[in-house]
Structure 1
Amino acid sequence: MVRILALREKFAHMSSVSGYDALYSHFADDILIDSIFCNFKKMHPRGVGRLLETASKFAGTSGFYNASSFEAESKLLLKYLSGKYSLIHYSYGESYYSLLGKIKKKQKTAIAVTHHQPVTWWQAHESSFKKYNNANAVITLSEYDKEYFNSHIPGKAVCIPHGVDVNFYKPLPSAEKTDDDTFRVIFSGRYLRDMETLARVVKKLSASSINIQFDIVYIDKAKVWQPYLIDIMGLPNVVWHADVSEHQLLGLYQHADVCLIPLEDCTANNAILEAMACGLPIVTTDLPATKTYLDSSMAIAGRKENADDLCDALLMLNNNITLKTTMSVNARNKATASFGWDIIANKTLSLFKSLQ
């Protein structure tokens, strides 16, 4: 019997079928999971908040570790000391793994930590690696990240990619698709997105002769402050979406022709996986971590901060229906064959069992 003690977080901006926490609902029924949930943005009463914040600065080694982190990890520690567990899993290591990296742990209880921040973030926080003497395994979300971690903590890092719900995120049956000549491009997400390059792409192609529509899923217009984004909001071929439900987001993916995601950096990317599962070719930035998920059969990658590369890719897909169709099929097949949550959960559970 595998009994897991998990420190988890469900982010408010992610739907019930998105985000890393979906992993836990895909483990086999005979796996027992005790969970401590944390809200990284939780507000505390002033006195308690100051005490927790002071403690977090003593315990933590990164800017992600705060008062809420210390509170949640303290609860985890108490539960760990009072129970018998096969393994402790930190689902977001940057935000929560600290105390158990500094105290002596029970020898029979393994610790696995999943990390989500890119290598560039870790390069600025390399002092954090000291606490991994207590960890048995680090789960990275890309092969590139695994190589970096193993250069600092040899043999402890294993790549298990992020997953996607391929039963929810799926292509629209062809009979239900609208038949018009509008080329629909969807952009979705916030974190580590290259919004300035996105704006340049939208502006350039909006001025071209092609019939193109951009569906931009982002924050509410009233909260946008960047001049280059305000510039494109009023364009007639730009449809701005905020606070969409998971079903609305699914509909936008299903009616799109391609997913455009310019990136500043990444490890895994929810929007890319969701779009792939819906059978969309991906146009994105060429970054080392994306190669775990994408290849040239379903994606076109441009140089960083290069709007012209991304525009050329979109024009190619607009002009070549055969290429777009082939890449669409390949994207869906890659998502179902490699990144469905059942596949990822089985790989994760195999790792957990190997650590007992």
Structure 2
Amino acid sequence: MTQRSFVVGVGMTKFEKPGSRPGWDYPDIGREAATNALTDAGIPYQDVEHAFLAYCYGDSTSGQRALYEVGLSGIPMVNVNNNCATGSSALYLANQYVRAGLAECVLALGFEKMERGSLREHWSDRVAPTGRHTDAMAARRGLTQAPLAAQLFGNAGREYMERYGVSRETIAKIAEKNHRHSVHNPYAQFRKEYSLAEILASPTVHDPLTKLQCCPTSDGGAAAVVASESFVESHGLWGRAVEIVGQALTTDTGSTFDGSDAGLVGYHMTRSAAQAVYEQAGVGPEGVQVIELHDCFSTNELITYEALGLCPAGGAGDLIAEGAVDYGGTWVVNPSGGLISKGHPLGATGLAQCAELCWQLRGEAEARQVAGATAALQHNLGIGGAAVVTMYRTPAR
């Protein structure tokens, strides 16, 4: 019999432009994020029985080096790397340990110290892990000089435009919404509101994507403490606890390479994970009020509406036009500002999403607060690949 699991503490650093805080190295980032989460939970580090440490850029035991700044307790630590889904993959493992009864209190910590500029492969003497995806894209659309990620996600947007008649202006409205939301997030890398005209007029990266529709690289960290029901009860943490009522991690299947651009950027992984989560939770997307999803590019938010079941095939443009994904609509999507504005330190992103949703469900999101939020959905994606979908709710005792 599986146990119930709860997030009892969350914390993060402000996300920053790489190198903008001199001397701020990954151990400092990890210490700050982990300490904030433990402080939020109101528990000492000694209560943590296991840790999953998430990062993409760093050497083999960078996770230990970061968490050693918090304490030297000898607990098991495992380093996790699942591309852009790394943070939520660490959260997934922490949740599995608690639900299986292997630990009562587990820390998931994600951090990243990144290079400026677009993501690139660092190992030129071996096959690229996303090589199959890139080759399939090139066979369909060719290659340009644009960053590969922008090409992959931009082409998925082109496909949606071609199939359903969605305009560039409609897609750009996603970035307008998320930049506007970030103004109220003190942890966001960018906190500037842009008009639709400014977003469309910014330099083109890969049509239909302009610069203001693409996430930046970032330095930063985030963490979550996951605990069992008995731990919550014995430590008096019901006032902090947010229950994980469904979670799934999926990877690529043959459908990824079914000939669609959306498949190459995780549409099928996301849909499969979401369906599993809705079955576990016993409720679909209609039961949630707030969503943090992986808007690495505005086009990915567009296709993810459909993959998560927020709309039928071809209906994403209507959601945007009707205001269904903004304050006052059916859902508020990316109240944090999303990856586009908040930033995207790869190992921290999934855990920062978790932090935002926990704050929302506790009523602690201040100017970003979604009124009446009792259930929330999280989507985190990595090409090559992994998708993690998680549903949270305020707990019933």
Compute the TM-score of the two structures, normalised by the length of structure 2: 0.28
Larger Rg: 1
- Tell me: higher relative CO, structure 1 or 2? Use CA pairs within 8 A at least 6 residues apart: 2
Compute the TM-score of the two structures, normalised by the length of structure 1: 0.30
